[in-house]
Amino acid sequence: MLTVSQVSKSFAGRVLFEDVSLQVNRGDRIGLVGPNGAGKSTLFSLILDEASPDAGKISLEKSATMGYLPQETAAAGDESVLELACGKSHQELEDEHDWEIEPKAKRILAGLAFRESDFARSAKALSGGWIMRAHLARLLVLEPDLLLLDEPTNHLDLESLVWFQEFLKNYPGAILMISHDREFLNTLVGSIVEIAQAKLLRY
């Protein structure tokens, strides 16, 4: 589904990747690890086409969708928590006769420890950690074929972490995730990709 082929990338005179390749297939669960500054977030930027490789090619299947949760999420707007998770207002969903998204969003928000009384709250009134949870809920509602997650457990308490872990175990798409939480990774992923000496080592 995602192919990273013979990619090289330097930044500020430092070689981050040298002739690296990676294949992500449907259903894969991959943890991306390496020391700070090794290039984990840069690899995500390359995959998202936010940066260009110096050499090589990155391609995603034409029909495949991709979703990304950055470590630092964007600020929320004027929408409610539920509208943020749904991506649309209640009226828009009614106008489109879409009766499935809102119940799905409510289930996911509840799993991430939002109370029902939070659903109508203004999202921009939330703290940064709760805004991240709302953006995460939006991503899970969308259910893209490939999830790119950058430290998704940073703002989760134990209860929501356990729920999130179980949700991802049953997730139908592929997951490529940066995390320093080795226990979380070991429970979830099928393989690890380590960035070391400008190479990608998969095991």
Q: Is the pLDDT of residue 12 over 90?
A: no
- pLDDT exceeding 90 applies to what percent of the chain? 81
Confidence of residue 134 (pLDDT cuts 50, 70, 90): very high
Sign, CA dihedral 95-110-162-33, equals: positive
Q: Is the pLDDT of residue 152 over 90?
A: yes
Q: Is the pLDDT of residue 75 over 80?
A: no
Confidence of residue 82 (pLDDT cuts 50, 70, 90): very high
- Per residue in 93-107, pLDDT (tens digit) is 666 666 788 899 999
- Residues 40-44: contacts with CB within 8 Å, 24+ apart? 40/150, 40/178, 40/195, 41/71, 41/150, 41/178, 42/9, 42/11, 42/16, 42/17, 43/4, 43/17, 43/195, 44/68, 44/148, 44/150, 44/178
Query: Comparing C-alpha atoms, which of 113, 112, 176 is closest to residue 140?
Result: 112
* 3-class secondary structure per residue, 75-139: CCCCCEHHHHHHCCCHHHHHHCCCCCHHHHHHHHHHHCCCCHHHCCCEHHHCCHHHHHHHHHHHH
pLDDT at 31: 97
Q: Is the pLDDT of residue 196 over 80?
A: yes
Q: How far apart are CA 144 and CA 172, in angstroms?
A: 9
Q: Is the pLDDT of residue 73 over 90?
A: no
What are the extents of the domains in the chain? 1-65+146-157+172-203, 74-143
Mean pLDDT of 101-129: 94
Q: Is the pLDDT of residue 86 over 70?
A: yes
- Residue 121's Cα: distance from chain center in Å? 24
pLDDT at 165: 96
- The tokens describing 190, both together, are 């099928």
Q: Average model confidence (pLDDT) for the chain?
A: 93
Q: What is the architecture of the domain spanning 1-65+146-157+172-203?
A: 3-Layer(aba) Sandwich (3.40)
Residue 187 φ/ψ region, left for φ over 0, alpha for ψ in the -120 to 50 degree band, beta for the rest:
alpha
- The tokens describing 67, both together, are 């979703």
Query: Comparing C-alpha atoms, which of 166, 199, 163 is closest to residue 4?
Result: 199
- Per residue in 22-53, pLDDT (tens digit) is 999 999 999 999 998 899 999 999 999 999 99
- pLDDT exceeding 70 applies to what percent of the chain? 95
Least confidently predicted of 2-11, 66-75, 94-103, 128-137: 94-103
